[in-house]
């Protein structure tokens, strides 16, 4: 890149040197005196210096910005912009035919100006009204197709590869592992996309010196490998470049905005940030809460008190699905399975929290040998 920068600087300096030298000779005339020759020399040296300095700003830097913008732009949008620019160019060619018949200098400058203006205008219109043009294209396609059976259309929409919905998998969803089981059931109809930067984050976690992070990374890679074997038609590694954002969450949100695909994640913060930017998010935690058997107030249960709570005299047990149950006045019952009455259910950002009290009536009605059974906490 350094050599290319030097070559472009020298080329720009040479071109501007020739232009300034010709300008100086033209202004001085055919027989310049000593002062005019000195002025021509100074003008030529100024042209060389100026060309050497400003050429990268006029060529390399704008080109880099254009390439960076193209990398962050979906291919569909690039196609629409190119189509609009091409149509504008065609119209400008048609208009240039009568314009070249005008007297000079109009015949020299107007065709070029009209060409540049219409090309830019066509590209801008197609880029701005892309969604409207896509809707018009779908409407024209439906109008041109013959009437077909509704069931056949639905079947084709499901089986056509280009029409299958796609979902972007976050690192937390892969490590969690429940997405594989959900996909097996058929509730998710479509393709699960794993962006390359998510795969790199899993590899980074697997190579970490921290035991917890390393185990999470290896678990994620193992689960992803199993998903590719068991769900070969549904899991794909997505080669993409969304810029050097540094953070995986930012890259994932940017990719979702560009492609329109929803994100599957367990990360609460990513869920909120993506939602604020208009990105659809599917949370496995919310799905788990939705299908979890309900626990209501005044419901009677039997739980194992495993450990003490945050305040005095509280004991904590867990339901079969892992929901924590805080039992009042049950600290002395740690390690025992006791009947309880649910007093209230609190919904938090991370899940549900159940508060209860010991059901002394049910405890007293039980036979003596079954009243309270001492068990070993795992």
Q: Which residues on neighbouring strands pair with residue 263, listed in sequence order?
A: 168, 281
pTM over 0.85: no
CA atoms within 13 A on the CB side of 103: 0
d(C-alpha 347, C-alpha 342), whole Å? 14
Alpha helices in the chain (DSSP H): 2-28, 34-58, 60-71, 75-99, 106-128, 130-144, 150-159, 171-176, 178-185, 196-206, 211-230, 248-259, 268-276, 284-291, 360-365
SS3 183: helix
Q: Residue 38 CA to chain centroid, in angstroms?
A: 61
Q: Which run of H or E residues covers position 241?
A: none
Separation between Cα atoms, residue 274 and residue 280, nearest integer Å: 7
Tracing tokens 């962006």 back to the chain, one arrives at: 195
pLDDT tens, the chain, 378 aa long: 567 778 888 888 888 888 888 888 887 777 778 888 888 888 888 888 888 888 878 777 777 777 777 676 667 777 878 888 888 888 888 888 787 777 777 777 788 888 888 888 888 887 777 666 666 666 666 565 544 444 344 334 333 444 568 888 888 888 888 888 888 777 777 788 888 888 888 888 888 888 888 888 898 888 888 888 877 657 888 877 665 556 888 888 888 888 888 999 888 888 888 888 888 888 887 777 777 667 878 888 889 998 888 887 899 998 876 788 999 988 888 888 889 999 988 877 767 789 999 988 776 665 544 444 433 333
């Amino acid at each position: 890149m350094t050599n290319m920068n030097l070559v472009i600087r020298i080329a720009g300096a040479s071109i501007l040197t020739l232009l300034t030298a010709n300008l100086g000779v033209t202004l001085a005339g055919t027989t310049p005196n000593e002062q005019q020759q000195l002025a021509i020399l100074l003008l030529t040296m100024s042209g060389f210096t100026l060309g050497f300095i400003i050429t990268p700003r006029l060529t390399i830097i704008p080109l880099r910005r254009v390439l960076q913008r193209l990398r962050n732009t979906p291919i569909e949008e690039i196609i629409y912009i190119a189509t609009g620019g091409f149509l504008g160019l065609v119209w400008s060619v048609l208009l240039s035919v009568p314009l070249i018949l005008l007297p000079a200098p109009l015949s020299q400058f107007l065709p070029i100006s009209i060409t540049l203006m219409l090309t830019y205008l066509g590209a801008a219109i197609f880029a701005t009204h892309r969604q409207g043009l896509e809707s018009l294209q779908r409407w024209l396609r439906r109008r041109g197709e013959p009437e077909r059976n509704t069931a056949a259309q639905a079947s084709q929409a499901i089986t056509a590869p280009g029409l299958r919905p796609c979902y972007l998998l976050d690192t937390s969803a892969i490590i969690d592992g429940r997405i594989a089981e959900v996909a097996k059931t058929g509730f998710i109809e479509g393709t699960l996309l794993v962006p390359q930067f998510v795969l790199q984050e899993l590899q980074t976690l697997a190579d970490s010196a921290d035991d917890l992070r390393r185990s999470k990374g290896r678990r994620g890679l193992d689960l992803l490998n199993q998903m590719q074997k068991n769900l070969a038609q549904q899991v794909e590694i997505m080669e993409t470049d969304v810029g050097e954002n540094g953070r995986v969450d930012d890259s994932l949100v940017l990719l979702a905005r560009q492609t329109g695909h929803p994100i599957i994640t367990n990360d609460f913060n990513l869920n909120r940030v993506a939602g604020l930017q208009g990105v659809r998010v599917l949370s496995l935690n919310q799905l788990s809460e939705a299908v979890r058997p309900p626990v209501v107030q005044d419901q009677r249960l039997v739980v194992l008190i495993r450990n003490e709570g945050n305040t005095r005299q509280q004991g904590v047990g867990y339901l079969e699905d892992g929901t924590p149950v805080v039992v009042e006045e049950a600290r002395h019952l740690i390690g025992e399975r006791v009947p309880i009455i649910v007093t209230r259910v609190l919904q938090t950002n991370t899940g549900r929290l159940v508060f209860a009290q010991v059901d002394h009536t049910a405890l007293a009605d039980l036979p003596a040998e079954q009243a309270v059974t001492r068990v070993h906490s795992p």
